[in-house]
Amino acid sequence: MADYFETEAVLKDYDHRIARRILSYVKPYPRLAAAAAAALALSTLGELAVPVMTQKIIDRAILPRFLVEDAAEQGPREQSAAGIRVGSRRFVLQSGAGPQAPRGQEAGGWYAFTCAPSSPAAAAARSHPEMFIIEQDRAAVRLKDLAGLSVREIAAVRAGDLALIIKGALALLGIQGLIFAFTFIQTWTTSLIGQRVMKDIRTGLFKKTVSQSSAFLSRHPVGRLVTRLTGDVETIDEFFTAVLMALLKDLSVMAGVLITLCILSPVLALAAALTLPPVLIAAAVSRVRARDAFRRQRAASSSVNAYLSERLSGAQVVQLFRGEQRSRREFEQRSGELLQAKLGEMYVFATFRPLVEWFSVITVAAVIIAGSYLALTLHISLGVLIAFINLTGMFYAPVMDIAEKYTILQSAMAGGERVFALMDADEAVPDRGVRELAVQGEAAFQDVRFSYKAGEEILKGLSFTAERGAMTAIVGHTGAGKTTIINVLTRLWDIDSGAVLLDGVPVTDIPLPLLRRSALPVLQEVFLFSGTVADNISLGLSLSDAEIEAAAKAVYAHEFIAALPQGYKTALSEGAANISSGQRQLISFARVIAHNPAVVILDEATSSVDTETEALIQLGIKRVLAGRTSIVIAHRLSTIRGANRILVLRDGVVAEQGTHEELLARNGLYAALLKEPPLG
């Protein structure tokens, strides 16, 4: 099967299949996704509303300008939002992309307002009849005449504008508050989705990884698998939090800005759009350069990390063989390559950002020039021009953001590819067992052939039977296939040919959970988990304290456990380094006894135990394993002297078998092995 993880992908271009698969994990959270999308849309609308509101305040309250129409020619019309009729004239507020002054009519330079007859504004108008046109509750004055009034009179005439400015300012504050609230909701929901997706992916990856066969796990280093479950999954979280929603926000803002510009003034929007092609070209070029620079940087960083890990792990060897100078030179070379790659990446961003800002200034200058002409010719108002300048700045910020987030997107695609490659790998031991049976414990091998690698057989037609309730010992030189017998009996590996039977039933026909409950090994390398002593004995079973204590007493482990600081509640450190190797062996025996299997397998189980502890184990074995099948792979004579039968393996087959006395009397391979310290 192809090795998915032999070569690390540093960066990958956008892949819609990977993106679609990542997004599929959002399906369980439709409400959160809908809330994030709604908050995104509302916050974007709020941001676009700010320059539009500013334009309205400027045009309607700060710098209002009215165009004048002949009301007699237009027909009688009451005042409306579009205009104020005073006598024979109708004053229309120039706002947005308002009309140019009709030819032959007075244009601009007027201020029209409404007021109560008894208001200070009406009093000020009546005191200057030569300046004001007055009709009931409406009046108009030229802007140049309005400027000649006293400050108090101007304030009275424009009291309505001042109130409108205050309302507009409060509205802007309210909009900013809503933008903050919606941005918070969007950020929170997006982060929550990302975290939940990460949890789902991590859980699925862990479940998939631990169910894989030993062949799969032996090919892939633990560190690399851990990286899949941690670092690569983190890049998927970045896809949600730093890329996906940010990209949607940037695109929505850019689209909203363009639409708003066209609504305010299509002519000025066209002038602004003419400066966009160079920006888009620069962004495309920068994206490619940033991708290449980031790839070089990641490759150089990986090289430095790998070199550091290797040389620091083998620091003693480097010192013993006087390789410090060479290692220093090699590290300096790799560190220099990383420096150059980092500088290359910095150069790209240091060039692109000022370049985009320069194009932004050019666009603003074009808007000011074209907008000023349109404002002077009364095609647009000053408020529209100011709104255009603000909206132009809003447009260019996302351009820079999108280009700079592209490398994060690439990293997320590469991480997603590696994650889904592991997710799709399927090398689990097939569990097709349907035979439910009460396992008694007879194990048999019939012409079993097995190889870890094709063409390199370990078991070469092995046949033997471990009788129920008897102790069968297995000895032989290293590489004879002793431990392999345990691996194929428990189906950690499947055989190439032949048959492995348990109570006459092929192990492939027995459900894996039942098989592994029925045949439990004490492996050569004892592994205890971080946790309490009691947790390591029960290991997933719901056992009472009395049952755990009974299992420990059976193998004479109770005395040393009770002497620990918290007894059975004592926490073991990583690798159980806070207890001795002999104590770890005793706990592993207690764990097997607590699970009460039909077949107990001791794989070099006492090879690292002192003589006194071994004596305790021998007493526990004799008491507890009575009536159970036991297969013992041992180095010490004391371990196998009392075995019912001893199998001597050589080159993957049984070379000799019999009791200890029978094999000694034969004076063959077994007798020769006993003379080699240690045995096996």
Q: Report how far Cα 366 is from the mean position of its chain's Cα atoms.
A: 43
Average pLDDT on 615-619 reads 68
* DSSP one-letter code for 467: -
* Whether the predicted pLDDT of 409 surpasses 50: yes
Q: What percent of the chain has pLDDT over 90?
A: 11
Amino acid (one-letter) located at 609 = V
486 pLDDT above the threshold of 80: yes
**Does residue 471 share a domain with residue 391?**
no
Rg (CA), the chain: 42
CATH number of 244's domain: 1.20.1560.10
- Dist CA 215 CA 220 (whole Å): 9
Whether 262 maps to a domain, the answer reads yes
Residues 255 and 375 in one domain: yes
DSSP line for 626-676: TTSEEEEE-SSHHHHTT-SEEEEEETTEEEEEE-HHHHHHHTSHHHHHHTS
Confidence of residue 185 (pLDDT cuts 50, 70, 90): very high
User: Could you tell me if 241 and 347 lie in one domain?
Assistant: yes
Domain for residue 108, yes or no?
A: no
31 lies in some domain: no
Amino acid at 161: D
pLDDT surpasses 50 at 323: yes
- Mean pLDDT computed over 352-366: 82
Q: How many CB atoms lie within 10 A of CB 218?
A: 10
Structural domains counted in the chain: 2
Domain match, 483 and 539 both: yes
pLDDT band at residue 611 using 50, 70 and 90 as cut-offs: low
User: CA 315 to CA 186: how far, in whole Å?
Assistant: 50
Rounded CA gap, 228 and 233, in Å?
7
pLDDT, mean of residues 648-669 = 88
Residues 411 and 450 grouped into a single domain: no
Q: Return d(Cα 427, Cα 11) in angstroms, integer.
A: 27
Q: Which of 94-108, 199-213, 236-250, 602-616 has the lowest mean pLDDT?
A: 94-108
Three-class DSSP category at 470: coil
Question: What are the tokens at 408?
Answer: 């994060």
- C-alpha to C-alpha distance for 539 and 191, rounded to whole angstroms: 35
Region 454-473: what's the mean pLDDT? 88
Q: What's the rounded mean pLDDT across residues 606-623? A: 63
Compute the average pLDDT of residues 576-601: 83
Is the same domain home to 228 and 353? yes
* Contacting residues for 259 by C-beta, under 8 A, at least 6 apart: none
Q: What is the mean pLDDT of residues 355-376?
A: 84
pLDDT of residue 216: 81
Average pLDDT over residues 507-535: 84
pLDDT tens string 287-306: 777 777 777 776 777 677 77
Higher pLDDT, 482 or 82: 482
pLDDT of residue 447: 92
Q: Are strands 519-522 and 599-603 parallel, antiparallel or unpaired?
A: parallel
pLDDT recorded at residue 107: 46
Examine the fold and report which residue of 424, 451, 474 is the final residue of a domain before the chain moves on: 424
Q: How many whole angstroms separate alpha carbon 404 and alpha carbon 133?
A: 59
pLDDT of residue 66: 79
Tell whether 505 and 381 lie within a shared domain.
no
Mapped to the 3 state alphabet, what secondary structure does 335-351 carry? HHHHHHHHHHHHHHHHH
H and E: helices and strands count for the chain: 26, 18
- Averaged over 592-602, what is the pLDDT? 85
% of residues, the chain, pLDDT over 70: 87
**Cβ-contact 92, 138 below 8 angstroms:** no
Residues 405 and 469 in one domain: no
Joined together, the tokens standing for residue 428 give: 């689990």
pLDDT band at 679 (very low <50, low <70, confident <90, very high): very low
Beta-bridged to residue 83, according to DSSP, are: 80
Write down the pLDDT at residue 586: 82
Query: What pLDDT is stored for residue 609 in this prediction?
Result: 58
- Whether residue 362 is found in the same domain as residue 458: no
Q: Three-state SS across 317-336?
A: HHHHCCCHHHHHHHHHHHHH
Q: What is the pLDDT of residue 607?
A: 52
Q: Is residue 389 part of a domain?
A: yes
Q: What confidence tier does 482 reach under pLDDT thresholds 50, 70, 90?
A: confident
CB 404 within 8 A of CB 250: no
Q: How confident is the model at residue 76 (pLDDT cuts 50, 70, 90)?
A: very low
* pLDDT score, position 80: 43
Other C-beta atoms closer than 10 Å to the C-beta of 587 total 23
Nearest CA-CA partner of 191 in 123, 129, 239, 149: 239
Q: Which of 445, 468, 502 is closest to 629 using CA atoms?
A: 468
- Taking the C-alpha atoms of residue 100 and residue 380, their distance in angstroms, rounded to an integer, is 8
User: What is the C-alpha to C-alpha distance for residues 437 and 505, in angstroms, rounded to an integer?
Assistant: 9
- Tell me whether the omega of the peptide bond preceding residue 678 falls within 30 degrees of 0, making it cis: yes
DSSP string, 269-329: HHHHHTTHHHHHHHHHHHHHHHHHHHHHHHHHHHHHHHHHHHHHHTHHHHHHTT-HHHHHH
Residue 529 within a domain: yes
Say which range, 65-69, 213-217, 635-639, has the weakest mean pLDDT: 635-639
| Rounded Cα distance, 193 and 203, in Å | 15
The torsion angle over the Cα atoms of residues 421, 423, 427 and 432, rounded to 10 degrees, is -150
Residue found under tokens 């006993």: 674
Q: Is the pLDDT of residue 270 over 80?
A: yes
First and final C-alpha spacing in the chain: 34
| Long-range contacts of residues 173-178, Cβ cutoff 8 Å, at least 24 apart | 175/46, 175/49, 175/50, 175/53, 176/46, 176/50, 178/42, 178/43, 178/46
- Does any domain span residue 345? yes
Mean pLDDT, to the nearest integer, of 364-382?
83
Q: Which residue would you say has higher pLDDT here, 490 or 74?
A: 490
Structural domain boundaries enclosing 517: 443-674
Residue 488 covered by a domain: yes
Give the chain's mean pLDDT: 81
Write down which residue in 424, 456, 474 finishes a domain. Answer: 424
The pTM (predicted TM-score) of the whole model is: 0.73
Mean pLDDT of 486-514: 89
Mean pLDDT of the region 143-150:
88
How far apart (Å, rounded) are the C-alpha atoms in residues 554 and 622? 10
Do residue 409 and residue 448 come from a single domain?
A: no
Closest CA to 507 of 592, 595, 597, 431: 431
Same domain? For 547 and 418 the reply is no
Last residue in a domain, options 393, 424, 455: 424
Closest CA to 653 of 463, 475, 490: 463
Which of 222-226, 239-243, 331-335 is predicted with the least confidence, judged by mean pLDDT?
222-226
How many C-beta atoms lie closer than 10 Å to residue 127's C-beta? 11
- Phi-psi map region of 463: left, alpha, beta (phi>0 left; psi -120 to 50 alpha): beta
417 pLDDT exceeds 60? yes
| DSSP element (H, E) containing 556 | none
Higher pLDDT, 34 or 608: 34
Whole-number Cα distances in Å, 671 to 156, 338, 602, 645, 663: 121, 61, 22, 15, 7
Which domain CATH number covers 663? 3.40.50.300
Look up tokens 């300048």; give the residue.
389
- Rounded Cα distance between 669 and 680, Å, is 11
111 occurs within a structural domain:
no
In angstroms, the Cα distances linking 384 to 95, 360, 367, 377, 378 are 8, 18, 11, 14, 11
pLDDT at 81: 43
Query: 603 and 669: one domain?
Result: yes
88-106 residue pLDDT tens:
788 887 765 444 444 434 4
Phi, psi of 86 (to 5 degrees): -130, 110
